Every structure is written in structure tokens, then in C-alpha cells.
């Protein structure tokens, strides 16, 4: 018997915000230099922006891009990256022990974002930085003119303000690896005073406070409570960060990573709701899941990771965190992204970390080609077809036991798009042997037609896309059979991630 997925018109979770499909570019490794920016590359424009890379970013329909970090931002003075390039200082970057030339700074990022249609999400330095420097940054970016920093921007060739809307108040300040890491109460006070100044300069901006950097820190989730109790009224979102790894070596545990993300979001929304009640507030705190991805540190101790090869310190754009993604990683990412959609009533922003070269869906050769990594595809499906209203549904899905406890073997999300009058249904089958028959039962949607099926399946779990074989892992479009159309029943292959598109007649 097929598993029935029951949908009812009008029964939806929330609007999926476009900002759920953001990503992240940090001054780290080759994300900026030889990633998005490489003057002299045959595909670079007059600004040095790589057009081959930009066209893949546009294919992904990335909404926001978080910049300039990440750990990098906690030692970064934004004023190093403005004005004439030849006068900018070359600095030591404490986060990644690299050399930062500052050829690419906030003005270049703004230009790049405008040219390629992404919305900037910028971060201020809460490590070595001060509340006043954060205020100056907002002034430089968002004040029209007539003050020192806004006029400086004009002198730098930007007559109109950048009008940055989304601002992260620091990055992972709970992490002992962070430059000038703080205790929860210290960060909370500093973030509050910084947020006040930033809002005085521009009351329209939306601020994101640092939440837990991972669930494995001993401060989780107490950090989030302490921070929220102090900054609640000043911020719109609290951040969550989490990277997923195959810790146990068991495929089912890794594929079940979505449960970990789900639990994380539950914990943080519950903590936020506790604080809301305590403060007698009427506002719901939203979540910005602004770092998530698969990152296989391969058991390397976290701190050692940052203090890399002692013979390779302080070079410009060293190849760091250049993970080559597998077919299995793509399946895991599909499951994680379904979880984000299913929580879209509280998760209003998210950033796949990162975008180019550094744990990223897009990978370049300096001076050479660019390829799509395996994780490019699930991100693209969700980003392109996962906009609209996330539907609630009921399905009685069999479970298996994993490290996360009882884990559903199918992880899915469904989004209704009003303009296209269609439902996109995304589903991961994490069972390693069992194909699963499912049928769509839609109540109140009028005439329904299943018209397209995309499938990522049938590859060795360790298959990767390389410069030699860039299409080793690519999705296929599987023709929808007459029987499937008739019965709205389909077979979801074992170990696959799928997109089904259904045309519907009625309004939601």
C-alpha cells in the first residue's frame, strides 16, 4: 500500500521568505579571491568579478549573501577595505591565519551584489570591534550624506547610500575559537549597546544577534536565553549555526541529520518563547539559520583546524576548507533544506555556508574553470521551486532507529506557489534498500496534474563532480507515466532526493 500524503487547501505553515535561500561569502580561503573575484581571469568583468561564477550563483537564485564573515569579521576593520585600493593596508587575518590584502572590501561587495541581484547581509565586528565602529559602518553604508562617513562614501564614488537592511551583530561570539570570544552576559551587553547605536543611525535596519554556533558547545542553549533576555527588543532574529558531519560512519545516521537540525530549531524557538513570556513581550523572535551545510572535518580537533600547517601561515587566499561533496552529501543537504522549509513560520532567513570554494556548491580553478558540486542541485531545486506557502500535510511514514532516535525514512516538504499554481513536493528517501510508494491526496485544490519529476539517484554514495568529470552527479528528469498521472502515486527510489511538480486548479 502506498503511503498517503494528505493535503488540505488552506492548511499551510507560513510563507517561505525569499531570504530562506541565502548563502555566505567570507574572506576565507578562496571564497573571495579566485572565487567571486579574480581580476585578469578570462571570464572576469572590468571590476574583476568572475562572470562564470556569477552565472551559477544566479542559476541558484541565491537571495541574500552574508559578508564578510564568519570568524574573519571578529578581527576585521571594515575601514581597511574602503577607498583607493593602492592605499589599503595588508593585514594579518587572525581567524584563518591568512594574509588579507583588502583589495575587495565593502564597496566592491556592494557593487557585486547590485550587478548580480543578491541582497547583502552584512556583519559587524563584535570581537576586536567597538559599538562605535559598528555605528560608523551603518553611517557609511546607509546615511545619505552630510556627515563624515557618509561623505567619505561619496568621495569613494558611491553617491547613493547602500541601504543595507540586514545586519549581523557579530559572529559566533560563543565559540572559544572566535577572536575575542565573549561569555554570554558580556556579548549580550555589548550587542545591546551596539544595536542601540546602529538603530539610532538607521532605525529601519534589521538586526540579527548571535545565537549558538553549534549544539555541541556546553553553553547551548543557555547562551541563547541570556542573550535574548538582554537584546530581545532590539533584534528581529537570533542566529543558529550548525554543520553536519558523518560522525558515526553510519549512512543512516548521516542521512538522519535533518532530525538534529529539527531538534535545534525546536530548542531555540522554545527558548525564545520562554524569554518572550518572561519579558511579557508581544513579539515572536525569528531565526536566521545563517550557517548550515555539510562540513566533514574528519575528526580533526576543532581548534587545530584553525591553526593549520605552520609552514603555510599568512599567505593570500590559501586553499582552505575546500570540501569535495559526494552524492551522499547532496542527499543529506536535501533533507536539511526540507527541515528549513517546514519551520518557515520561525526560520525567516538562512544561509548555505558557503557559496564558492569554501565548503560550497560552486568550485573554481584559479585562472580556470568552474564546476557545480553535488550539493548545487538540492539547493537549486528548493530555491527555484520552494518559494510560496509551505504546506502542512499528514503522512504515516515508517521509521528506522538512528543515532537521532526514531527517524522517518522519508523527509519531505511541500510548497504551493500561487503564481505558477503548482505544488512542489521535495522528498528524500533515506532507506538504503527500500523504494517507497507514495500517493498524493489533495483536498480542495481542484483538478490536480502531476507533470514533472526530477530525481537525484543511482550514483555511488561517494561519487563527486570533478573538473575531469563535472557531471558525474547530476539530476535527471524522469518522465511521468500515464499510470502515475492517473493515480497520483509514485515510487520514490531508495537513497534518492526528488522534486515532484503538481499543477493545481484552485487557490490556496
69 binds ligand AHR (CB under 6 A): yes
For the bound state, the minimum distance from the C-beta of residue 468 to ligand AHR, rounded and expressed in Å, comes to 27
DSSP line for 449-488: EEEEEEEE--S-TT-B--SSSTTSS--EEPPPPHHHHHHT
CA angle 329, 168, 223 (to 5 degrees): 80
**Per-residue contact flags (x/-) with ligand AHR for residues 74 to 113, judged by CB under 6 A:** ----------------------------------------
The β-bridge relationship of strands 22-24 and 3-16 is unpaired
353 binds ligand AHR (CB under 6 A): yes
Three-class SS state of 145: coil
Q: Which helix (H) or strand (E) holds 223?
A: helix 222-231
Cβ atoms of 437 and 338 within 8 Å: the answer is no
Q: In this structure, what are the phi and psi dihedrals at residue 340, rounded to the nearest 5 degrees?
A: -60, -45
For the bound state, the minimum distance from the C-beta of residue 418 to ligand AHR, rounded and expressed in Å, comes to 35
CA-to-CA distance for 291 and 351, rounded, in angstroms? 5
CA-to-CA distance for 351 and 314, rounded, in angstroms? 28
Of 64-72, 161-169, 362-370, 415-423: span binding ligand AHR (CB under 6 A): 64-72
171 binds ligand AHR (CB under 6 A): yes
For the bound state, the minimum distance from the C-beta of residue 176 to ligand AHR, rounded and expressed in Å, comes to 11
CA-to-CA distance for 12 and 389, rounded, in angstroms? 7
Closest residue to bound ligand AHR by CB:
70
Nearer to ligand AHR, 171 or 411 (CB): 171
For the bound state, the minimum distance from the C-beta of residue 296 to ligand AHR, rounded and expressed in Å, comes to 13
| Candidate list 70, 127, 135, 493; residue touching ligand AHR; CB under 6 A | 70
For the bound state, the minimum distance from the C-beta of residue 170 to ligand AHR, rounded and expressed in Å, comes to 10
CA-to-CA distance for 146 and 286, rounded, in angstroms? 35
290 binds ligand AHR (CB under 6 A): no
The β-bridge relationship of strands 22-24 and 64-67 is parallel
Q: Which of 193, 291, 449, 468 is catalytic?
A: 291
Three-class SS state of 445: coil
Establish whether 291 is a catalytic residue: yes
For the bound state, the minimum distance from the C-beta of residue 390 to ligand AHR, rounded and expressed in Å, comes to 26
For the bound state, the minimum distance from the C-beta of residue 260 to ligand AHR, rounded and expressed in Å, comes to 17
| Candidate list 71, 339, 351, 407; residue touching ligand AHR; CB under 6 A | 71
DSSP letter for 81, please.
G
Residues numbered 294-333 forming contacts with ligand AHR, rule: CB under 6 A? none
C-alpha cell at 87: 592605499
174 binds ligand AHR (CB under 6 A): no
170 binds ligand AHR (CB under 6 A): no
C-alpha cell at 109: 561587495
Nearer to ligand AHR, 307 or 469 (CB): 307
Q: Which of 17, 172, 222, 229 is catalytic?
A: 172
| Candidate list 7, 12, 13, 26; residue touching ligand AHR; CB under 6 A | 26
Establish whether 172 is a catalytic residue: yes
Strand-pair partners of 370: 364
| Candidate list 38, 93, 108, 172; residue touching ligand AHR; CB under 6 A | 172
Residue among 124, 126, 127, 91 at smallest CA distance from 106: 124
CA-to-CA distance for 320 and 317, rounded, in angstroms? 8
| Candidate list 113, 354, 364, 496; residue touching ligand AHR; CB under 6 A | 354
Provide the binding-site residues for ligand AHR, judged by CB under 6 A: 26, 28, 69-71, 171-172, 291, 353-354
Active-site residue list: 172, 291
Amino acid at each position: 500500500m502506498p503511503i498517503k500524503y494528505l493535503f488540505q487547501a488552506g492548511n499551510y505553515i507560513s510563507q517561505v521568505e525569499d531570504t530562506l535561500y541565502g548563502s555566505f561569502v567570507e574572506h576565507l580561503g578562496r571564497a573571495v579571491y579566485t572565487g567571486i573575484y579574480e581580476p585578469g581571469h578570462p571570464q572576469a568583468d572590468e571590476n574583476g568579478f568572475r562572470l562564470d561564477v556569477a552565472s551559477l550563483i544566479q542559476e541558484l537564485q541565491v537571495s541574500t549573501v552574508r559578508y564578510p564573515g564568519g570568524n574573519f569579521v571578529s578581527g576585521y576593520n571594515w575601514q581597511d577595505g574602503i577607498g583607493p585600493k593602492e592605499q589599503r593596508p595588508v593585514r594579518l587575518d587572525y581567524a584563518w591565519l591568512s594574509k588579507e590584502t583588502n583589495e575587495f572590501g565593502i564597496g566592491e561587495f556592494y557593487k557585486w551584489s547590485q550587478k548580480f541581484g543578491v541582497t547583502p547581509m552584512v556583519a559587524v565586528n563584535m570581537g576586536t570591534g567597538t559599538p562605535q565602529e559598528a555605528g560608523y559602518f551603518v553611517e557609511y553604508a546607509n546615511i545619505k550624506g552630510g556627515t563624515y562617513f557618509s561623505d567619505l562614501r561619496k568621495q569613494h564614488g558611491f553617491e547613493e547610500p547602500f541601504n543595507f537592511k540586514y545586519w549581523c551583530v557579530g559572529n559566533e561570539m560563543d565559540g572559544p575559537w572566535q577572536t575575542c570570544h565573549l561569555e554570554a552576559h558580556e556579548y549580550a551587553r555589548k550587542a545591546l549597546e551596539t544595536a542601540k547605536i546602529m538603530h539610532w543611525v538607521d532605525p529601519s535596519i534589521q538586526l540579527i544577534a548571535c545565537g549558538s554556533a553549534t549544539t555541541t558547545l556546553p553553553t547551548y542553549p543557555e547562551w541563547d536565553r541570556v542573550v535574548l533576555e538582554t537584546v530581545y527588543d532590539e533584534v528581529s532574529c537570533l542566529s543558529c549555526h550548525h554543520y553536519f558531519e558523518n560522525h558515526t560512519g553510519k549512512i543512516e545516521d548521516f542521512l538522519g541529520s535533518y532530525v538534529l537540525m529539527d531538534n535545534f530549531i525546536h530548542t531555540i524557538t522554545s527558548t525564545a518563547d520562554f524569554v518572550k513570556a518572561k519579558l511579557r513581550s508581544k513579539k515572536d523572535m525569528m531565526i536566521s539559520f545563517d550557517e548550515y551545510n555539510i562540513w566533514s572535518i574528519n575528526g580533526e580537533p576543532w581548534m587545530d583546524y584553525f591553526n593549520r600547517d605552520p609552514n603555510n601561515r599568512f599567505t593570500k587566499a590559501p586553499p582552505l576548507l575546500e570540501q569535495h561533496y559526494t552524492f551522499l552529501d547532496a542527499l543529506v543537504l536535501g533533507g536539511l533544506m526540507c527541515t528549513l522549509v517546514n519551520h518557515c513560520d520561525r526560520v525567516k532567513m538562512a544561509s548555505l555556508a558557503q557559496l564558492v570554494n569554501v565548503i560550497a556548491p560552486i568550485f573554481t580553478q584559479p585562472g580556470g574553470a568552474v564546476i557545480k558540486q553535488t550539493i548545487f542541485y538540492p539547493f537549486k531545486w528548493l530555491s527555484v521551486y520552494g518559494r510560496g506557502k509551505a504546506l502542512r500535510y499528514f503522512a504515516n511514514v515508517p521509521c528506522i532507529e538512528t543515532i537521532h532516535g526514531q527517524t522517518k525514512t522519508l523527509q519531505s516538504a511541500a510548497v504551493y506557489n500561487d503564481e505558477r499554481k503548482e505544488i512542489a513536493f521535495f522528498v528524500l528517501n533515506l532507506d538504503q534498500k527500500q523504494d517507497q510508494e507514495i500517493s498524493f491526496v489533495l483536498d480542495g485544490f481542484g483538478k490536480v496534474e502531476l507533470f514533472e519529476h526530477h530525481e537525484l539517484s543511482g550514483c555511488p554514495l561517494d561519487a563527486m563532480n570533478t573538473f575531469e568529470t563535472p557531471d558525474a552527479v547530476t539530476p535527471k528528469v524522469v518522465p511521468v507515466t500515464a499510470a502515475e498521472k492517473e493515480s497520483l502515486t509514485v515510487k520514490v527510489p531508495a537513497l534518492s532526493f526528488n522534486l515532484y511538480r503538481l499543477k493545481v486548479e484552485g487557490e490556496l
